[in-house]
Amino acid sequence: MVDVAHVAGVALSTVSRVVNADPTVGPDMIRRVENAIATLQYEPDERARQLRRGLSGTLGAAVRDVGSPFIGAAEKAARDAKMMLMWSSTNDDARLESEVVISLCRQRVDGLIVEPTGDQSSYLGRQIAKGLPVVAIDRPLAGVDADAVVSDNVGGITAAFDHLVASGHRRIFYLGDHERLFTGRQRADAFRECLSSIGGDPATAVYAGEVTAERIRAALDNALRRRPRPTALITGNDGTTIETLRHLGPEVAGLAIVAFDDLEFADIIRPPLTVIAQDHQAMGRAAVELLISRIRDPHLPTRRVTIPVRLIERGAVNRPSRRRQPATRA
């Protein structure tokens, strides 16, 4: 910038004014400076401006995975708000999450979106206490009072359940994520609630745990060995759905199935997969909006936004065959 000032034969501050489109600079000055900028191929240093200004104009995100589905929407929303989004993945590892958050804080992001691992990073709590605007996405932050954007997990599970019941199913089981995770817990609980309401016994129909091929296979095998045999299944997240399809094939061993969260290939497999689709776009957008509003006004009360989910009926959820099917003598 000094070079530009020198070449243009003006003061440093004038160059700065031109770069920042200050309306008080004269038109000839503007041209002289812009020429100098062009000849020097000058590019302002964003870090220096941020340092001086005290604001970074940057939002940070610590998400579970690079492919986290809200990121696309969040990036777009940030862009629309003229903020940059910097993000890193945590692989659902508390240590890594801590590292990522620290790194982002040292970059002095103006606010942080975090998809929290189950285990609470105490570091994050401290930053929030120090005034860092934070919004949790997908799962709320345990033990800390922070904004959050979550899916309507209960509504989704209930819709899936009702759909199966409406098709005549009674012997339904649930296979999903570990209840250590908020979403896993909420969905499993919602299922229990549903099952109880029709007189079923949740104790033998909820399989929650790690999403690994081995565990899911074992759970499926166990569930299918029960007599009377279950006729329907609700899977609690995409990883579970995929492993289930891998193990049982797209026909799911004759079970009716509703999967939590949509899959790219849900309409390709035969039979097509009926799903509860989360609105990732809306989640990402909402997270950025919440974050920006909190940056503007840190004293806002804590908000929790629940994003609706949608039942997408694809394959017919086949009726159970022949026999009677109450889960218990209801």
Partner DNA sequence: ATGAAAGCGCTAACAT
Partner DNA sequence: ATGTTAGCGCTTTCAT
Residues in the site for DNA, rule: CB under 7 A?
Answer: 1-2, 9-14, 16-17, 19-20, 24-26, 28-29, 43-45, 48-49, 51-54
* DSSP conformation letters of 243-264: HHHHHHTTTGGG-EEEEES--T
For the bound state, the minimum distance from the C-beta of residue 8 to a second copy, rounded and expressed in Å, comes to: 20
Give the Å distances, CA to CA, from 63 to 89, 129, 245, 255: 5, 21, 26, 34
Distance CA(264)–CA(270), nearest Å, equals 14
Comparing CB distances to a second copy, the nearer of 204 and 281 is 281
Q: Exposed, middle or buried by CB within 10 Å (0-12, 13-18, 19+), for 242?
A: middle
Task: Identify what 299 binds: a second copy, DNA, none; CB under 5 to 8 Å per kind.
Answer: none
Radius of gyration of the chain from Cα atoms? 26
Q: Which two tokens stand for residue 93?
A: 């590892």
* Region of residue 226 (left: phi > 0; alpha: psi -120 to 50; beta: else): beta
Residue with tokens 């929290």: 116
Per CB under 8 A, residues contacting a second copy are 41, 43-48, 50-51, 56, 65-67, 71-72, 75, 84-86, 88-89, 102-103, 105-108, 126, 130, 242, 245-246, 249-250, 263-265, 267-270
Comparing CB distances to DNA, the nearer of 126 and 246 is 126
For the bound state, the minimum distance from the C-beta of residue 198 to a second copy, rounded and expressed in Å, comes to: 31
Comparing CB distances to DNA, the nearer of 10 and 164 is 10
For the bound state, the minimum distance from the C-beta of residue 168 to a second copy, rounded and expressed in Å, comes to: 26
For the bound state, the minimum distance from the C-beta of residue 84 to DNA, rounded and expressed in Å, comes to: 15
Task: Identify what 89 binds: a second copy, DNA, none; CB under 5 to 8 Å per kind.
Answer: a second copy
Tell me the angle at which helices 213-225 and 238-248 cross, rounded to the nearest 10 degrees.
Answer: 60
Comparing CB distances to a second copy, the nearer of 119 and 267 is 267
DSSP strands (E only) in 90-227: 111-114, 134-137, 147-151, 172-176, 206-208
For the bound state, the minimum distance from the C-beta of residue 41 to DNA, rounded and expressed in Å, comes to: 12
Comparing CB distances to DNA, the nearer of 49 and 247 is 49
For the bound state, the minimum distance from the C-beta of residue 108 to a second copy, rounded and expressed in Å, comes to: 6
Q: Which of 243, 252, 250, 281 is nearest to 266 (CA)?
A: 250
Comparing CB distances to DNA, the nearer of 25 and 149 is 25
Task: Identify what 11 binds: a second copy, DNA, none; CB under 5 to 8 Å per kind.
Answer: DNA
Task: Identify what 288 binds: DNA, a second copy, none; CB under 5 to 8 Å per kind.
Answer: none
Task: Identify what 19 binds: DNA, a second copy, none; CB under 5 to 8 Å per kind.
Answer: DNA
Task: Identify what 82 binds: a second copy, DNA, none; CB under 5 to 8 Å per kind.
Answer: none
Give the Å distances, CA to CA, from 301 to 148, 293, 304: 12, 11, 10
For the bound state, the minimum distance from the C-beta of residue 37 to DNA, rounded and expressed in Å, comes to: 10
Q: Which two tokens stand for residue 207?
A: 């399989």
Distance CA(170)–CA(267), nearest Å, equals 25
